[in-house]
Structure 1
Amino acid sequence: MADETGMIGFGSTVRIGRGETPNWTELALVGDIDMPDEQIDEIETTHMKSPGRRKQFISGMTDGGEVSIPMNYIPGSASDLLLQEIKASGEVVLIEITLTADGTPETFAGFLKGYARTAPVGDKMTCEATFRLSEEVTP
């Protein structure tokens, strides 16, 4: 049950689904998750008699945006090999994010736009998978 003062994201998961009947794989060692921020295009409809000499707008298409998944990087791990394969294929996959262990999953569709990996001398290795979202997925 949610505490009225806030919650931490501990226990959150990210799974990748591939295929018509998705075969789901959970990404390992996921860090802080920033959920996608869909943005609505604005279309200007101003005309010569716009009321009050004000610009007018209507809402347009929805841009699903991107979601970046940071992880601890283990070269050759199941997550590493999966992400490298998905990036090379260019395929559209499902990205399921569940915030907290008892949360409701949210599912997005998109392609793997980038897979950045770092290997610093004095810190843990990390990677970040960035998915470009393009389709609405309904439960």
Structure 2
Amino acid sequence: MAGETQASIGYGSFFHISEDNGATWTEIAEVNTITPPNDKLDQIDATHMQSPNRTREFIPGLIDPGEAPFEMNFVPGSPSDLKISALKIAGTRVKCRVTFPNAVTWVFSAWVSGYEPAVPTDDKMTATVTWKVTGSTVSTPAAAPANTVLPAVSGLAKVGETLTAWEGTWTGSPSFAYQWKAGAANIAGATDKTYVPVAGDVGKAITVSVTGSNAAGTATAASVATADVVA
């Protein structure tokens, strides 16, 4: 429908860091609020003795890339806790990558300038991690999804038993659609995450095709077949 909103919530976003200039990336776990870099333009006061009407004059200066804080669930001794603590102590500059739910990414260089855990009596422990950004942020358009680990089916291939699809592992933060098959044929109407075999499926192996979609495109991957369905 024309004019329909494209807004989305932030659920599904990721924060990764790379210590080898983007060759490999490590996810920071259990991040719940991200504030991406927010560039600010310096304002240079260029007022002089003859400024018209005794009014200050300004010219644009350099761009300050600012900071990029995020909040996460604080788990003492976890890999994320240890990694952030080590980066703060070392003052190491790393690449950071924010991946939004539509798979657009922002990549920037930064170092940990603050790490502040909070340990309340009657609420979850959290930590605020502040990154000092250096240089410009590069925005990369969404790439079509790609499957990296094939989907799979769990459950007993038997009439009346529930089979459940696991989507596999994908790049591109896609949403998923399902199509179950008995043998080589699609099962009409079987497009949910689960499927319950019927008598007509006896003697046939069951598979599920998973289609991942995002703003840039779609891709489909099929699971390994189950054993033949039994009555």
Partner-residue secondary structure (3-state), 1:66: coil
In the alignment, does 2:113 pair up with 1:113? yes
After superposition, the C-alpha distances for 1:16-38 in whole angstroms (9 at most, x for unaligned) are 11124543101111112222221
CA 1:51–1:103: 2 relative to 1, 3 Å = farther
RMSD (Å) for aligned C-alpha atoms: 1.7
Higher radius of gyration, 1 or 2: 2
**How big is the shift at 1:52?**
4.1
After superposition, the C-alpha distances for 1:57-115 in whole angstroms (9 at most, x for unaligned) are 11111111111110011111111111011111101111111121x23100111110011
Query: Equivalences for 1:82-121 in 2 at 5 Å?
Result: 82-100=83-101, 102-121=102-121
- Number of the residue aligned with 1:32: 33
CA distance in 1, matches of 2:121, 2:22: 42
**How big is the shift at 1:5?**
6.1
What amino acid is aligned across from residue 112 of structure 2 in structure 1?
L
Unaligned runs of 5+ residues in structure 1 are none
What amino acid is aligned across from residue 8 of structure 2 in structure 1?
M
CA distance in 1, matches of 2:120, 2:56: 51
Query: Equivalences for 1:55-134 in 2 at 5 Å?
Result: 55-100=56-101, 102-134=102-134
Instruction: Using the TM superposition, name which of 119-128 and 83-92 deviates more.
Output: 119-128
* % same residue: 35
Equivalent pairs, count: 136
Please, what TM-score do these two structures have when normalized by structure 2? 0.55
**How big is the shift at 1:50?**
2.6
CA distance in 2, matches of 1:46, 1:60: 14
Please, what TM-score do these two structures have when normalized by structure 1? 0.88
Partner-residue secondary structure (3-state), 1:59: strand
Contact 2:21–2:95 (CA<8 Å) still a contact in 1? no
CA 1:32–1:75: 2 relative to 1, 3 Å = same
Partner-residue secondary structure (3-state), 2:135: strand
Unaligned runs of 5+ residues in structure 2 are 141-231
Between the two structures, name the one with larger relative contact order (CA 8 Å, sep ≥ 6). 1
Partner-residue secondary structure (3-state), 1:8: coil
- Number of the residue aligned with 1:10: 11
